[in-house]
Amino acid sequence: MIRKSIILLILFISINGFLFSQNLDFKFYSSISDGDFKNDYRGYALALYIDEIELNTVEDNLKKIGRDLNKLKKSNLWLCWKALNEWEYYDGETYLIICTANLYSENGIMIIATIKDNGESFDWWGKSISIDDLE
């Protein structure tokens, strides 16, 4: 259900249709499968490149839904980096990152991240989204 909801949300955000040219598959990530037995981070995420022309449209639509995020949990930050690492990213590039604990969860986060510091960090703002925000 959340997968359908997130795809509907993506369609809502993508007035210009730019997401259709990118891979919309959520990938499952687990810190344990990466050999990190200290942390137990896991979840589904995807990152989509947004060019400058599309950025305003995505930002305007994202501002209309959800609850503003002020801080990211360590597990969400880890998921963001896992999704970003699917790309060859460069400073100044912007990505829409969507993370959820599982594909059937009623909650998730959407982040707009701009890469900086030679790919070592990113500026971001985002929203916590629930299934109720989509109805």
H or E element: which one contains 4? helix 2-13
Q: What is the pTM of this model?
A: 0.81
Q: What percent of the chain is helix, strand and coil (3-state, nearest 5)?
A: 35, 30, 35
Give the β-pairing of 121-130 and 27-30: unpaired
Q: Scan for tokens 């959340």, then name that residue.
A: 2
Query: Is the torsion defined by CA of 17, 23, 124, 51 positive or negative?
Result: negative
> What pLDDT tens digit does each residue of the chain (135 aa) get?
666 566 555 555 543 444 445 556 789 998 887 777 788 889 999 999 999 888 888 888 888 888 999 999 999 999 999 999 999 999 999 999 999 988 887 888 999 999 999 999 999 999 998 877 655
